[in-house]
Amino acid sequence: MKAAQLEGERILDECDVGLAGPGIMYVREHARTVQRWLESGRRFRVWTVDSERDVALCQGLGIHEITTNKPARVLAQLQSSGQQVQLPS
């Protein structure tokens, strides 16, 4: 598992991919690295973002897409903060 993580980090560092889909635990533990990748143009889709704290973290980092088990609450949180939200079609 660690080898797969290291390979994923390598291909993001080397710009071999433009999209990543980590779990929220990875984002929590590596927020600075995720921020660096976002600033260099990578797109992130993070799962499973259920707590208010995790939603705020993703919002603060500029995460593009999140997956959640609590869509109504997360949507309300994002909208109350003035975040423009695009729902999937």
- Residues ≥6 apart with Cβ < 8 Å to 16: 10
For residue 13, give the nearest of 27, 33, 32 by alpha carbon: 33
Burial per residue of 34-67, b for 16 or more beta-carbon CB atoms within 10 angstroms, e otherwise: beebbeeebebebeebbeeebbebbeebebeebe
Q: What is the pTM of this model?
A: 0.89
The per-residue pLDDT for 8 is 87
The per-residue pLDDT for 52 is 97
Q: Tens-digit pLDDT profile for the chain (89 aa)?
A: 789 899 989 999 898 998 999 999 999 999 999 999 999 999 999 999 999 999 999 999 999 999 999 999 999 999 998 877 777 76
The per-residue pLDDT for 41 is 95
- Residues ≥6 apart with Cβ < 8 Å to 81: 59
